[in-house]
Amino acid sequence: MAVKATGESVGAREAARILGVKLPTLYAYASRGLVQSLPGPYGRARRYRVADLERLKARRDARAGHGPLAAGALRFGEPVLDSALTEIGEGGPAYRGHAAIELAAEGASYEAVAELLWTGQLPTGRPDWGERHFGVKVDALEPVLPASLSPLEGLSLAVPLLAPQDPGRFDLRSDAVIPRARALIQRLAAALSPHLAKSRIEAAMAGKTVARAAAIALGAGRGQDGVQAIERALVLCADHELNASAFAARVAASTGADLYACVSAALGAISGPRHGGAADRVEALVSEIGRPEDAERVVYERARRGEGVEGFAHPLYPDGDPRGFALLELARELAPRSRAVRTCLALVEVMEIGGKGLATLDVGLVAISGALGLPRGGPVGLFALGRSAGWVAHALEQYEAGYLVRPRARYQRDAP
């Protein structure tokens, strides 16, 4: 509610309106010291400090009146905090006013998009982040890591290993955080290597760009076309407003936690099956379908068993996720004969014809992964790597905001 005030105080009637109470209640608040009453000029009626009124109203709303609204806001509802990073519209996310779809189509580098999110300025060329060393020895890890280690698990393991190697990580000034973020993301790209193999990590760190490092780490095929496809995927994944992993990063940043801790918190959130793990479920479904001609059968068998199909009908995109469409088309162009790509496209067609929803980013990432021959877990690995730029941006914004993110709970006496 906008407050119409003269200076920093308002009259009694306006103060009562702001609080939503009657005048006697306002006077009772003043007598109890909850709001400060000030003498009016030239002997006029007393006035009330706006700061006291706003503070009292916020406390009262948090305790009772706005509990249902706040609870709904945390479920794809109303905004819960201010941000200048990403706006979501029908055309997909826009990073500080630049449409992600257009940035990807125009060949913007992932590094430039990351700098845009962090600083508000889009570099004209590709920034040289210059990191060539992984920062921690992985030789001793290989014998103890399971052969099934996924790319996302590799990222989640690498971040806490890298943190103690950086004694300056507690400097939260943006001038200190941004160089640290550049090095960290380059290393995350290398950490996508299966089993964190030393030879693959070293080759990836020599890749000079984040997209090339990721392509080397994951063993992507199709040469430079494959690198460019990964770059476009990373750009489209870079941020998506206040999603679960970004919120986790912001909560950690609000406590004053260092960048590595913020990224670790985000990685924990993205691993869940309702967030980044959705790509794992789409990947498993495509593997289950096996052939394009079996897509309809598998989808309807799932329906018969009462099982849903992940990766469709994004709540924020009733007309379809533009990021998913862009990646599906790119996968079709890259590898039109790939069985994995054709199976993804067949799945999309069955779901659309059956009115079961339109493809999301997760399906597009699985299609790109199939086109490039990435290992299992590649889609969510790319998702996490791309989104790391956004996590850093949210951490920087929260450091600058300087307040603790601490929602209130709505107590339920009879809850189990």
Q: How confident is the model at residue 105 (pLDDT cuts 50, 70, 90)?
A: very high
Task: Give me the active site residues, please.
Answer: 314, 362
Would residue 411 be called left, alpha or beta, if left means φ above 0 and alpha means ψ between -120 and 50 degrees? Answer: beta
> What is the structure's pLDDT at 159?
97
Q: Between the CA of residue 16 and those of 33, 39, 59, 99, what are the distances in Å?
A: 15, 17, 16, 44
The answer regarding whether domain 9-65 maps to CATH 2.50.20 reads no
User: Which two structure tokens, joined as six digits, stand for 375?
Assistant: 């290992």
> What is the structure's pLDDT at 311?
86
User: Which two structure tokens, joined as six digits, stand for 334?
Assistant: 């890259």
**368 in Cβ contact with 228 (< 8 Å):** no
Global pTM reads 0.82
Q: How confident is the model at residue 307 (pLDDT cuts 50, 70, 90)?
A: confident
Instruction: Provide Rg for the chain, Cα atoms.
Output: 25
Q: How confident is the model at residue 51 (pLDDT cuts 50, 70, 90)?
A: confident
Neighbours of 40 (CB within 10 A): 13
Higher-confidence residue of 155 and 317: namely 155
Q: How confident is the model at residue 33 (pLDDT cuts 50, 70, 90)?
A: confident
> What is the structure's pLDDT at 1?
36
Higher-confidence residue of 351 and 8: namely 351
> What is the structure's pLDDT at 71?
55
Enumerate the domain spans of the chain.
9-65
